[in-house]
Amino acid sequence: MTPTPDVRHLWVLRHAKATPEATWGGPDRDRPLAGRGRGDAAALGRRLADEDPPLGLAGLVAPELVLCSNAARTVETADLVLAARDERVPLDAYSSLYQAEPGTVLTYVREVDEHAGSALVVGHNPTMYLTVWDLLADGSPDRDRLESVGFPTCGLAVLALRVDAWEDVAPGCGTLLGLFAPPY
């Protein structure tokens, strides 16, 4: 879908509930999703596939590509969210998005193909929360809403970015279209 010239949709998803560190014997990057996390991510995917428009938000463009941390729990979350979709959605996993700062996430967002009207970023907290925070205007009610709701595992923020091109994404350019959390 060709994007509207002055708006892009950015979906920011925190990975679903992972196996607790205390019970996991391997490296943090390799921790898989817990049963609850798999269920939450699959439920979100079914909801996205079944609702038109997505999440009941008129004019919202479903994710056309995914940028993801290469940690096992983020890739698994993204795969489960995308599994119910009829069309294949390209997913690129990056080691630099694991333990990234919000500025790194925005660098990747600015490199999204201009033909895409929307992108999904799947990562970790506090980075996902702070990325959404940075994209919202100082003093906006959207920031107040984000702060009051928080960003739980498998939490999703959907933003409208008022920019002509992805490369123009900058702090404060976003409006919060919705905040979603399990159960989906």
Query: Domain spans of the chain?
Result: 8-154+163-176
d(CA 56, CA 37): 23
Separation in Å, CA 116 to CA 13, 60, 61, 66, 85: 18, 13, 9, 11, 17
Q: How far is CA 72 from CA 8, 76, 96, 146, in A?
A: 28, 6, 14, 26
Phi-psi region of 139 (alpha: psi -120 to 50; beta: other; left: phi over 0): left
Q: What is the domain class of 8-154+163-176 according to CATH?
A: alpha beta
Q: What is the pLDDT along the chain (184 residues), one digit of tens a residue?
A: 445 558 999 999 999 999 998 888 899 999 999 999 999 999 999 999 999 999 999 999 999 999 999 999 999 999 999 999 989 999 999 999 999 999 999 999 999 999 999 999 999 999 999 999 999 999 999 999 999 999 999 999 999 999 999 999 999 999 999 999 999 9
pTM: 0.95
Beta strands (DSSP E) in 81-133 are 91-94, 118-123
